Structure 1
């Protein structure tokens, strides 16, 4: 199978990097500009790796941003003079010295240029404001027309965006980006951390991350090594990781798909198991870890068997953990997803043997489904020992608001509840979250509802079925009265049974865990 063989990584030449930054800014090579140039149809198609609409739109545009997008993302060969005009401070010679472009074979007397690396605008926002960066990575198969090489360094993909969205952004002292790739998580962390350490096994990935940090004027510390080896004996306030979790068969037929960025070179999901078991030792008091992962499911009725086993020791050490499964795939779907991820299609002769190698590998271990989701850990601040809370659930949909804040608050609430017995909870003054509303279902013409639900607007948009007493209790939780006082008043009004308090306490605990009620 012919794969993309990367050229050298981008070079750290401060003067040329400063010139490149100035040129990109002057060209308004920003996400907003690109979206405006392309329009919604071409922009959406490009997100699906379909470049045809974008090529058609950009062919008629002569703005510098359009030229840079064609060159650095679509893999177009462009005239030398146009590159010089789009990068006046850096110049073609400077771009070649940085390792971004090379001269392309052409019959044009003036010469032509092609990109050696992708350079894409990236935009986001956080508590510190708007983000507009430029991110270098290896050229995708969209630009090269070939499968990816084994040392390929990804740009900002779907998994990277997901991890960035679920990572808490409270100010902390030390952050670790484990398996940093091109460095996007480390760049985000630099906005709310005093010091950021980013590690990766790939020397090429670290070179790209260093270039991205320099291009965007950000300081991070880079270290090479496997998993947690580069930070032995150190702890952090926040650990973020999009590790090489893809479950890949250890089979010669699959060697063509052992990309460093996604394959930890372990059988099954053992790399993730190893990492999750080792992470708690690197969390400072009050520190948390946020990561993505895949796990194998041999019994669909116990989808969480593997992550539960990995986290038992952490719970015994007093570390709280929360596993959220967002989706499942069967073995065939999983194999198709990751064979395609490497740029191999059903038309390639390698497709059938690769998919077959994946299916054989899963058959050997009796794998029926593959789970994907988030793994969150938190070491409590308090020194008093207690067992950690281990919660696993299949997450529902996604509501409005910031998911990172919801996850962090819910993880803290899990730990807080572990310190409160029923008497303490009854004496607390919880408050219904502002985004929770009540929904009643009635038969037309009837007064009594068939079904009452509490519905969460933010977070995971949860819907919880409740009875009249619990609905009335939650509706009255404004922090004025204790929970016991509210339940007592509701019982007096509804002539409820004496055991209502015990039942309501258990239900309110769950509502607090999910952020529908706050302490």
Structure 2
């Protein structure tokens, strides 16, 4: 049935580009804000078509006449689509059972497009109907579709071929499907049987094999197994464990505070092959007098794992509570909303929580006898690195740079030849009438879009890094030109060079 359904979706032109063109950019933006009015007005001005029918059903979540629905599924047949649980028929009053009938969606099914290192791709993704289509808050068993976290994590996956990947908490299966593009075999786990059923259906609908779907909590379904890569968008949302507070399977891990994220991170060492990597999203709490990143650092203290944690955002307790209460479909200004905010704030106050950080976690298990020692815990504003689709390549480069730096002490670094990365530019600012710049900034065009303030010596050093001269030769020449002590200049520039290599502004010359 899935191949016939895919044929109908393909024949109708049910793609991101065609759907957006169906109602236009303004209506598409309005949909993202939770309003269907503009899209419905655009559809009303067009003749009926299979594409319009599919978009009305599965994107807008609205009913269509029975005859239009039947025309949209000439290959699969409407009855088969209904039997598969994607649609239901309501209101038939004719002798053939179809006169006056409407067909309504029971799931969200929409096109999805992406670009990775293998090129452009597109799929159709089934998930549960959202709040807009339901007209009320979602259920606690809701299976989430494509969202901002989805695209962030899929872009964070390292685009390097491997043998095995574990997708921990697969949800609708989207991360497992992305992982399969670079892996021979993927294991996808979830504690929700409905999520696994939907994920399995999505893989079949898009003709993707090689994914083993397993039921169970966290690492239980893969006890004793190791993987070359682990990816996870775990249910990290911090939710009060109190009567009357909904616990959504797709986002709440059933543990107190950020204990689930801690459990996942501590479990990585037992399930990564030597040289294996993990890319995850997560939340972590700030407590009175305790920095959130310091708490995450402590979770890795008794392991030999390389760890790079990037905090992109930090929310105060009230903002955090309001964000996730709205996410569940409870509207601000209602008694229910206010009650839930109170429950969240009571929980945070009792546990001395002052804020919640969100970000990325990248982990690598070193090879036996190989260099290691990457422990980087940093805050990178959300405004930087605005292209999550390219972060996987950045992750791979940082891990390679960290291994290279671990194998080069100061003497080896001084003997190395470095080049400026191709996406690096330099900004200079001058006071009016001055010949010398007052501010110099190295700007990274890709990756996390880092901006590094440079003094005259560092700017000159980077400008001379073209791969021809060694680091030591450049430092020596600068010392001679400026008349400063060469050892003192090296003491300043070598640590800066290490940071620039790790950040990707300088690269070891071939």
TM-score category (smaller protein): over 0.9
Match of 2:36 among 51, 54, 58: 51
CA-CA distance at 1:60 after TM superposition: 2.8
Which residue of structure 1 aligns with residue 113 of structure 2? 123
Is it true that 1:38 corresponds to 2:23 in the alignment? yes
Where in structure 2 are the equivalents of 1:333-344 lying within 5 Å? 333-344=319-330
CA-CA distance at 1:175 after TM superposition: 0.8
CA-CA distance at 1:191 after TM superposition: 1.1
How many residues in Structure 1 have an aligned counterpart in Structure 2? Answer: 498
Which residue of structure 2 aligns with residue 367 of structure 1? 353
Q: Write the distance in 1 (CA, Å) between the matches of 2:177 and 2:114.
A: 12
Is it true that 1:420 corresponds to 2:399 in the alignment? no
Which residue of structure 1 aligns with residue 73 of structure 2? 87
Which residue of structure 2 aligns with residue 282 of structure 1? 271
SS in 2 for 1:265: coil
Match of 1:204 among 175, 194, 204: 194
On the 8 A contact 1:77/1:104 being kept in 2, the answer is: no
Q: Write the distance in 2 (CA, Å) between the matches of 1:262 and 1:301.
A: 25
On the 8 A contact 1:297/1:305 being kept in 2, the answer is: no
Is it true that 1:223 corresponds to 2:211 in the alignment? no
Q: Write the distance in 2 (CA, Å) between the matches of 1:299 and 1:465.
A: 32
Q: Write the distance in 1 (CA, Å) between the matches of 2:212 and 2:43.
A: 38
CA-CA distance at 1:69 after TM superposition: 1.2
SS in 2 for 1:185: helix
How has the CA–CA distance of structure 1 residues 385 and 22 changed in structure 2, closer, same or farther, with 3 Å as cutoff?
closer
Q: Write the distance in 1 (CA, Å) between the matches of 2:290 and 2:461.
A: 34
The superposition leaves residues 358-407 of structure 1 with CA deviations (integer Å, 9 ceiling, x where unpaired) of 010000111111100001101223x2166632111101312668222112
Where in structure 2 are the equivalents of 1:27-426 lying within 5 Å? 27-61=12-46, 62-105=48-91, 109-219=99-209, 220-254=211-245, 257-299=246-288, 302-314=291-303, 317=304, 319-381=305-367, 383-384=368-369, 388-396=373-381, 397-398=384-385, 402-426=390-414
Q: Write the distance in 1 (CA, Å) between the matches of 2:18 and 2:28.
A: 11
- Range with bigger deviation, 269-278 or 396-405: 396-405
SS in 2 for 1:168: coil
After TM superposition, which residue ranges in structure 1, 4 or more long, deviate above 6 angstroms?
Answer: none
SS in 2 for 1:253: coil
Match of 1:467 among 455, 459, 468: 455
On the 8 A contact 2:371/2:403 being kept in 1, the answer is: no
Q: Write the distance in 1 (CA, Å) between the matches of 2:355 and 2:301.
A: 22
On the 8 A contact 1:253/1:353 being kept in 2, the answer is: no
The superposition leaves residues 297-339 of structure 1 with CA deviations (integer Å, 9 ceiling, x where unpaired) of 125883312211112123xx2x210110101111111111111
Which residue of structure 1 aligns with residue 10 of structure 2? 25
How has the CA–CA distance of structure 1 residues 414 and 259 changed in structure 2, closer, same or farther, with 3 Å as cutoff?
same
Q: Write the distance in 2 (CA, Å) between the matches of 1:385 and 1:398.
A: 30
Q: Unaligned 5+ residue runs, structure 2?
A: none
Q: Unaligned 5+ residue runs, structure 1?
A: 1-15
Scaled by the length of structure 2, the TM-score of the pair is 0.95
How has the CA–CA distance of structure 1 residues 350 and 107 changed in structure 2, closer, same or farther, with 3 Å as cutoff?
farther
- Range with bigger deviation, 463-472 or 396-405: 396-405
CA-CA distance at 1:75 after TM superposition: 1.9
Which residue of structure 1 aligns with residue 502 of structure 2? 513
- Range with bigger deviation, 208-217 or 448-457: 448-457
SS in 2 for 1:334: helix
On the 8 A contact 1:292/1:374 being kept in 2, the answer is: yes
How has the CA–CA distance of structure 1 residues 106 and 350 changed in structure 2, closer, same or farther, with 3 Å as cutoff?
farther
CA-CA distance at 1:39 after TM superposition: 0.7
Q: Write the distance in 2 (CA, Å) between the matches of 1:139 and 1:461.
A: 36
On the 8 A contact 2:65/2:100 being kept in 1, the answer is: yes
Scaled by the length of structure 1, the TM-score of the pair is 0.93
Q: Write the distance in 1 (CA, Å) between the matches of 2:86 and 2:26.
A: 29
CA-CA distance at 1:106 after TM superposition: 5.8
Q: Write the distance in 2 (CA, Å) between the matches of 1:47 and 1:407.
A: 29
